[in-house]
Amino acid sequence: MYEAFYGLKEKPFNLTPDPAYFYFSQTHKGAYSHLKYAVSENKGFVVITGEIGSGKTTLIKYLLKNVGVDVNIGLINNTYLFPDHMLKMLCKEFELKVSRIDMADLQEVFYGFLLNEYAHRRRVVLIIDEAQYLTRKSLEGIRMLSNLESEKNHLLQIILIGQPGLKDVLNQEGIEQFTQRVTVTYHLQGLSIKEATEYIKFRLQTAGAQTMDIFMPEAIEAIYQYSKGIPRVINILCDTALIYGFADGQKSIDEKLITAVVDDRKKSGIFDVYRKTTLEKEASGILPEKPFRTEMETRIGLIEKQLNILEGQLMKIDLNLEGLITKIDQSLESINKKDVFAEEAIRSLKESMKKRQMMKDRIDQLENRLKEMRPSSGWRSFLKKR
């Protein structure tokens, strides 16, 4: 919509976790260093927390993109089903055949998989996103999985990613055996004002902007104050401001326009930029309560959750595609092009690419629904008249 008007090749402030737009702030560098160290040194349990929209999922995608080929990674987003179907979900995630449903048999299959990977000098890492929803039974099941190890090495490394509420989950009484196995922890903070400025300019540059003056300094200051330095909130404010600016024919985004964006979104009740973070609530002595959510907020939350799950599935398909392409290249270099293995790998590649396109189409549909549900420039005109 506004790309050509502002001299951009693509939208710079999309909400999807794209590693190409990953900005390495000091807090993200710290989190990535901890993750990289934990994975390379096989440090058992790892816990990474951060506010909603602080970049946890993007950080994980960046890690997966840069991880070594000798690491087999499984990603679980749906923690609600984890307690009752833990082993079955894990087996499916690592593409193991699980025709049997007896828990002892499933454990034997999974343990055999871990031993086989270890024998081939491949590491197995399980990443659990949205881990703040894990129950006590879930945590106990995860702890039991960590018992599947050799005499000297962990056969399975587990990384928990979640909102600050994950800390409360891990501080419950009765799960000390679990918390004692956590060797690496890190909390993602919001960006500083300097980093927020660099973040906005970095995303504009990545999107092909010819000038970094689209957002005036006072506008960036206002964005930072309203967003508390949370990247996702910065993206929402910037994207909406560009829509408003385009509608008004305004080449530079000023503080007045940012204030208008915030006021309109506050009136709509869809997005509350004034909501305090978990840390601010703790500092002010406010007990965490279940926030009031309008029907529209609930619908948006469900759609965003679907997007997160689809992104995780798409991430796994991309990793499989990279592996298939490597195998095909190796096969064609050393064997006749009509080799059965190469033909089978090519067929699998085509099927994976088809699934990836279907997943991408679904993500685009959900994103379009989110855009329709959020205030447009028409809403803004209507609200101004009111």
Q: Are residues 123 and 178 in the same domain?
A: yes
Is residue 56 in a domain? yes
pLDDT of 100 reads 62
Q: Are residues 301 and 231 in the same domain?
A: no
Q: What is the pLDDT of residues 36-88, one digit of tens each?
A: 888 888 777 899 999 888 888 888 888 877 876 688 888 887 766 555 577 78
Is residue 201 in a domain? no
pLDDT of 53 reads 87
Identify the helix (H) or strand (E) that includes residue 49.
strand 45-50
Q: Are residues 30 and 178 in the same domain?
A: yes
CB of 141 closer than 8 Å to CB of 175: no
Q: Are residues 304 and 247 in the same domain?
A: no
Last-in-domain residue among 125, 153, 188: 188
Q: What's the structural domain count of the chain?
A: 3
Q: Are residues 51 and 179 in the same domain?
A: yes
Q: Are residues 151 and 257 in the same domain?
A: no
> Cα(228)–Cα(189) distance, rounded to whole angstroms?
10
Is residue 11 in a domain? no
pLDDT of 234 reads 95
Is residue 163 in a domain? yes
Number of H helices, E strands in the chain: 15, 5
pLDDT of 299 reads 53
CB of 345 closer than 8 Å to CB of 330: no
pLDDT of 265 reads 82
Q: Are residues 30 and 177 in the same domain?
A: yes
pLDDT of 355 reads 72
Between the alpha carbon of residue 95 and those of residues 89, 241, 257, the distances in Å are: 10, 44, 50
pTM for this predicted structure: 0.65
Last-in-domain residue among 284, 303, 335: 284
Q: Are residues 112 and 242 in the same domain?
A: no
Q: CATH number, domain at 102?
A: 3.40.50.300
pLDDT of 152 reads 64
Nearest to 158 by CA among 123, 191, 133: 123
For residue 260 the two structure tokens come to: 């208008």
Per-residue confidence of the chain (386 residues) as pLDDT tens digits? 799 999 999 999 998 878 788 888 999 999 998 888 888 887 778 999 998 888 888 888 888 778 766 888 888 877 665 555 777 888 888 888 876 667 777 888 888 898 898 888 888 889 998 888 888 888 888 888 777 665 567 788 889 999 998 988 888 888 888 888 888 899 999 999 999 999 999 999 999 998 899 999 999 999 999 999 999 999 999 999 999 999 999 999 999 999 999 988 887 665 554 445 544 444 444 434 333 334 455 555 556 556 656 655 665 666 566 566 666 666 666 655 456 666 666 677 777 777 777 777 777 776 666 666 655 445 445 444 44
User: Residue type for 117, please?
Assistant: E
Last-in-domain residue among 250, 284, 318: 284
CB of 143 closer than 8 Å to CB of 177: yes
Is residue 5 in a domain? no
Q: Are residues 228 and 166 in the same domain?
A: no
Is residue 364 in a domain? yes
Q: What is the pLDDT of residues 134-157, one digit of tens each?
A: 888 888 888 887 776 655 677 888
pLDDT of 321 reads 64
CB of 235 closer than 8 Å to CB of 15: yes
Is residue 129 in a domain? yes
Is residue 386 in a domain? no
DSSP assignment letter at 191? P
Q: Are residues 74 and 212 in the same domain?
A: no
Q: Are residues 344 and 219 in the same domain?
A: no
Residue 314: which domain range? 295-375
Q: Are residues 102 and 225 in the same domain?
A: no
pLDDT of 48 reads 93
